[in-house]
Amino acid sequence: MIVGTAGHIDHGKTTLVRALTGVDTDRLKEEKARGISIDLGFAYLPAPDGSVLGFVDVPGHEKFVHNMLAGATGIDFVLLVVAADDGVMPQTREHLAIVDLLGIERGVVALTKADLVSPERRAAVTDDIRQALAATSLAGADIVPVSTVNGEGIDDLRQHLFAASNDIHVRSAQGRFRLAIDRCFTLSGTGTVVTGTVLSGTVSVGDHVVVSPSGLEARVRSIHAQDRPAERGLAGQRCALNLAGDGVSKDAIARGEMVLDPALHKPTDRIDAMFKLLPYENKPVTQWMPARLHHASAEVGARVVLLGDAPIAPGIEAPVQLVLDQPIAAAAGDRFVLRDTTAQRTIGGGKFLDLRAPPRKRRTPERLAQLAAYAFADPQAALAALLERPPYYVDLTSFARDRALTDEDAASLVSRCEALTVVTPGGIVALSAARWLDLKRAVLTALEKFHAAHPDLPGLGLEPLRMQMLPRPPAPAFIAFLQGLTKAGEIALDGAWVRLKGHEVRLTPQDEGLWRRVLPLIGGDERFRPPRVRDIAGMLEVKEPEVRRLLKLVGRMGKADEVAHDHFFLRPTVAEMVAIIVDCAAKAPDGQFTAAQFRDRVDNGRKVAIQILEFFDRHGVTLRRGDLRRINKHRLDLFRRSAGDAFMTEGQAFMTEGHVSGRESSPVGRPDFKSGRGRETALGGFDSLSLPPNSRRAG
């Protein structure tokens, strides 16, 4: 059990801890000289059952409340100290308010300096204390008179703490590891040591961890848990971790950071939260109000964004968005406290709801409904509620990470909620079984209608299909969902087309015969110099409109592209020319090539070479500046020959560039990518006048 002291300055907190444990927690030279606690102090008390009670002694001076807050997070039991001669004082009330905001419900009151006052004074102060506790989480807590001078009540208080330790609910060691750092120092012969309270999970010697938000990687060389050497540290214990690794030093790690499982390293600077303004505040909280945010051992500047229509009045609880001056490491459900910018008073506090708060559309009814679901403390209840509210899917990877859940915990949640999941390059997305079935039906219905209206087209573009879905899943999840339907044999993915499994586009016997005659003329050795429609009609003695109609049809089937007016190239030839362009750019010192260089490679005339390059310019495969061009790597799969290659390239680009290196990758596959450019063929094929696919459509 971790016991935290609280109370006004000079009410005897440190002296009482010394009387209980035999340890003087004032360790700083200035603390000795001034006779007051300035920073956190720590002591330990072995219990008769073999367990160890840890004490966090906090300063009581109003100037050091920020230090008090750094030690208050993570304690199980509060030892509120009130001097009998002074009674309830300003910092008594502020510390009590902080304890209440942090949700600490177990505690005892030590009425110190009891030897200095009369029985009547003891009774009067006791009544004042009960009134102060009445509206807080410590209402009804026992009050024990003590004196460190004559020893009165010390043994009774110690036994009270031992009994509370036996009764207190042991924190679950499930979840991923998090430790809030309150000290970092160097020991001779040991190296860098950090101390703090383990907020969740376990840590073992040899584990690899990350110091967040800095991102410093380290390895745990040794552990002291509750002041004893140990192989493991558990949630609810105070631990000292000896860390090693490149860059690990006392100067590289500071109070306010966290040591955590590498999977949890995702700092945030924008958090949606539930906030309560303290009843005795004189002014309401207004839009964009500045404050100091205290979370675990961290302290950062913050702005309060109201998510309701009116300022938050004293005593009222309401949802807010906290925009921080710098990122912090946190978890959903963590408690926080806000103080004013002058550090003179505590304003209020509450609980984090969503660590990935949106900067826009944060006050819509849909968003507020999501926050109501995030407010459930039980992860299963929160996940179940989110799955039934717009947008009806949950990024399970983010949900589990932000609640410090292990992979096993997340899998168990999915099973208990009877949800279904799809795996994307960016993580796992969960949908309820009912929404999954609705989405499947919507896809099949949309494809049936499209095939009925366009029997001569091979299928519907992936992005146009996704835009018809309500609710509309993110693009990576939708691709994974369609791939699942493909494996089940219900649909087929053909390059950028989506079609029903049995749908095929076939030429009529007459068109098939004409196509066999046209094909040799635009392929083979003349593939880079195919004749135009008028020339083909003359060679075959066929009416020009018939040839044009046939080539438009095979263009819609994805077999040819109209590079310029009435000038068709086979799709494999277009893919070959893309490869030539890539090679030209690769051989150029700065990646830029000229039309003449491309013309020489395809052994064509300048006019046709320019028309080909302008076709690629229109579709974003090449980017032109003056007489020079360079390739756009994000569009190279637009004319790829193999459908399998197209999907594989897209997935690899998204995973490699967007999620491993942390750099911004191709927008293809990103949930925020709306236009779908580069992922589906334009209806009717590519023609000389077309813009890139969907460029006319608003996302």
- CA gyration radius, the chain: 34
Token pair for 493? 């993915």
Provide the 8-state DSSP code for 268.
E
Could you tell me if 274 and 226 are in contact, meaning their C-beta atoms sit under 8 angstroms apart? no
Amino acid in position 624: R
The ranges of the chain annotated as CATH 2.40.30.10 are: 178-264, 268-363
The contacts found for 470-473 with CB under 8 angstroms, 24 or more apart, are: 470/442, 471/390, 471/391, 471/392, 471/393, 471/435, 472/391, 473/391, 473/393, 473/429, 473/431, 473/439
Token pair for 359? 């900067």
Tally of CA atoms within 13 A in the half-sphere of 608 that contains its CB = 20
Query: 268-363: which CATH topology?
Result: Elongation Factor Tu (Ef-tu); domain 3 (2.40.30)
Q: Name the residue among 561, 577, 586 with its Cα closest to residue 685.
A: 561
DSSP letters spanning 626-639 = TTEEEE-GGGGGGG
C-alpha span between 597 and 56 (Å, rounded) = 74
Residues of the chain with pLDDT under 70: 26-39, 60-64, 169-172, 640-699
User: What would be the CATH architecture of the domain defined by 509-556+558-639?
Assistant: Orthogonal Bundle (1.10)
> In what order do the strands lie in the sheet containing 419-424?
394-395, 427-432, 419-424
Q: Name the residue among 472, 424, 422, 420 with its Cα closest to residue 446.
A: 472
C-alpha span between 438 and 444 (Å, rounded) = 10
In the CATH scheme, what is the code of domain 2-167? 3.40.50.300
**What are the φ and ψ backbone dihedral angles of 202, each rounded to 5 degrees?**
-135, 160
C-alpha span between 485 and 505 (Å, rounded) = 21
Alpha helices in 403-496 (DSSP H): 407-416, 433-453, 462-467, 475-487
Could you tell me if 382 and 376 are in contact, meaning their C-beta atoms sit under 8 angstroms apart? yes
The ranges of the chain annotated as CATH 3.40.50.300 are: 2-167
User: What would be the CATH architecture of the domain defined by 178-264?
Assistant: Beta Barrel (2.40)
pLDDT for the residue 643: 36
C-alpha span between 229 and 583 (Å, rounded) = 62
pLDDT for the residue 504: 80
pLDDT for the residue 32: 47
The ranges of the chain annotated as CATH 1.10.10.10 are: 509-556+558-639
Residues 120-137 as b or e (16 or more Cβ within 10 Å = b) = eeeeebbeebeebbeebb
Token pair for 418? 């009877």
